[in-house]
């Protein structure tokens, strides 16, 4: 039996579905069109009408609802075993999941059991139509190059993608997804038991804002973040930073944008005194509008920017603030 169709594993969050699932379904639509196959959401446990409607809105054409007996621990080992049983039967060509803590734990367990490959933290996914292969791009060799990885000899092809890498887009014409219910009898391997789930405290989270003003080494000193903070406050956003600035101890890691920081996709990203290293771009290139302020007209950041201002940020930013004030926007 040949391998076909694209699966997106559904991760639950609180009472609903984790947003990364909708991002993966949005991307999955273009992948399945390239392959001429179906996009299937794989849901573990009891599927509610609201969950079904949401999955349909982002393009799921079919939902594989895998039953979990009441009282069973929904631990990663159990989910991996159930997923593998479903794979043996349904033979998906591609399996995608979010590179969240759960996705990063579950996907390797599945890949090992199926003896197939897995590419973690992809920043782009494409299809080679001639060979029907998933091209999985991610930073490699210490983040200095972007490598495109193929899993050509074994199936399914598996990849995880961090939240915010792909845009969440509702489909214009949602279809009523066919629900296929599956019940398997796993041999429960209780290596890990969840005793209690404690909700994480709300922390400063730069992935949850529409506007980010980021500062880099070009600030020249830690105090420069006061100016960045002022602009971000006036715009109603949050402060981001390059690793260059974080490594100098000017601001905490929670603010770092990039490959080893957070991946963000705000409506507006203002990069001040940031050169535009590939590892920084990996974390913000999905922003809707990018403005760069840099005194070097050849800085790489200008290649990614929609608007570029060449000049000293200590001259430019106060002028922007003054302009906002005089036009009543601050």
User: One symbol per residue from 305 to 324: x for binding ligand FAD (CB under 6 A), - otherwise; what is it?
Assistant: -------xxx----------
User: What's the CA gap between 138 and 120, in Å, rounded?
Assistant: 8
CB of 262 to ligand FAD, least distance (A): 8
- Nearer to ligand FAD by Cβ, of 28 and 215: the residue is 215
Span 232-261, contacts to ligand FAD by CB under 6 A: 242-245, 256-261
Six-digit token string for 39: 């996009």
User: One symbol per residue from 273 to 292: x for binding ligand FAD (CB under 6 A), - otherwise; what is it?
Assistant: xxx-x-xx--x---------
DSSP 264: -
Is residue 143 a contact residue for ligand FAD (CB under 6 A)? yes
User: One symbol per residue from 179 to 218: x for binding ligand FAD (CB under 6 A), - otherwise; what is it?
Assistant: -------------------------------------xxx
- Nearer to ligand FAD by Cβ, of 106 and 251: the residue is 251
User: Is 260 within 8 Å of 240 (Cβ atoms)?
Assistant: no
**265 class by beta-carbon count within 10 Å (0-12 exposed, 13-18 middle, 19+ buried):** buried
CB of 119 to ligand FAD, least distance (A): 17
User: What's the CA gap between 173 and 234, in Å, rounded?
Assistant: 39
User: Is 232 within 8 Å of 211 (Cβ atoms)?
Assistant: yes
- The Cα-based distances of 182 to 21, 56, 64 in angstroms read 20, 19, 7
User: One symbol per residue from 56 to 75: x for binding ligand FAD (CB under 6 A), - otherwise; what is it?
Assistant: --------------------
User: Binding residues for ligand FAD, how many (CB under 6 A)?
Assistant: 30
- Neighbouring residues of 30: CB distance < 8 A, sequence distance ≥ 6: none
- Torsion sign, CA atoms 213, 214, 219, 225: positive
User: What's the CA gap between 117 and 81, in Å, rounded?
Assistant: 17
Binding site for ligand FAD (CB under 6 A): 142-143, 216-218, 242-245, 256-261, 273-275, 277, 279-280, 283, 293-296, 299, 312-314
């Amino acid at each position: 039996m040949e391998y076909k169709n694209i699966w997106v594993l559904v991760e639950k969050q609180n009472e609903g579905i984790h947003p990364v699932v909708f991002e993966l379904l949005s991307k999955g639509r273009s992948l399945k069109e390239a392959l001429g196959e179906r996009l299937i959401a794989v849901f573990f446990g009891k599927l509610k009408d609201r969950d079904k409607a949401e999955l349909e809105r982002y393009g799921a054409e079919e939902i594989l609802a895998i039953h979990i007996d009441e009282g069973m621990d929904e631990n990663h080992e159990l989910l991996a075993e159930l997923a593998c049983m479903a794979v043996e039967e349904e033979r998906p060509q591609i399996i995608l999941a979010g590179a969240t803590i759960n996705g990063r734990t579950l996907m390797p367990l599945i890949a090992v059991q199926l003896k197939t490959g897995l590419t973690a933290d992809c920043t782009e996914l494409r299809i080679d139509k001639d060979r029907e292969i998933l091209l999985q791009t991610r930073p490699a060799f210490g983040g200095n190059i972007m490598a495109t990885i193929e899993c050509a000899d074994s199936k399914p092809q598996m990849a995880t993608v961090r939240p915010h890498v792909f845009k969440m887009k509702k489909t214009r014409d949602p279809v009523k997804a066919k629900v296929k219910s599956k019940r398997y009898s796993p041999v429960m391997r209780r290596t890990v038991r969840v005793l209690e789930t404690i909700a994480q405290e709300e922390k400063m989270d730069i992935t949850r804002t529409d506007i980010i003003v980021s500062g880099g080494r070009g600030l020249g000193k830690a105090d420069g973040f006061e100016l960045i903070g002022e602009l971000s406050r006036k715009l109603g956003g949050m402060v981001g930073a390059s690793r260059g600035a974080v490594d100098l101890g000017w601001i905490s890691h929670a603010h770092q944008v990039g490959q080893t920081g957070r991946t963000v996709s705000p409506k507006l990203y203002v990069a001040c005194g940031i050169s535009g290293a590939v590892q920084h771009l990996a974390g913000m290139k999905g922003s809707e509008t990018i403005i760069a302020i840099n005194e070097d007209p050849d800085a790489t950041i200008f290649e990614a920017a929609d608007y570029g201002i060449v000049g000293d940020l200590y001259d430019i930013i106060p002028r922007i603030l003054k302009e906002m004030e005089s036009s009543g926007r601050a």
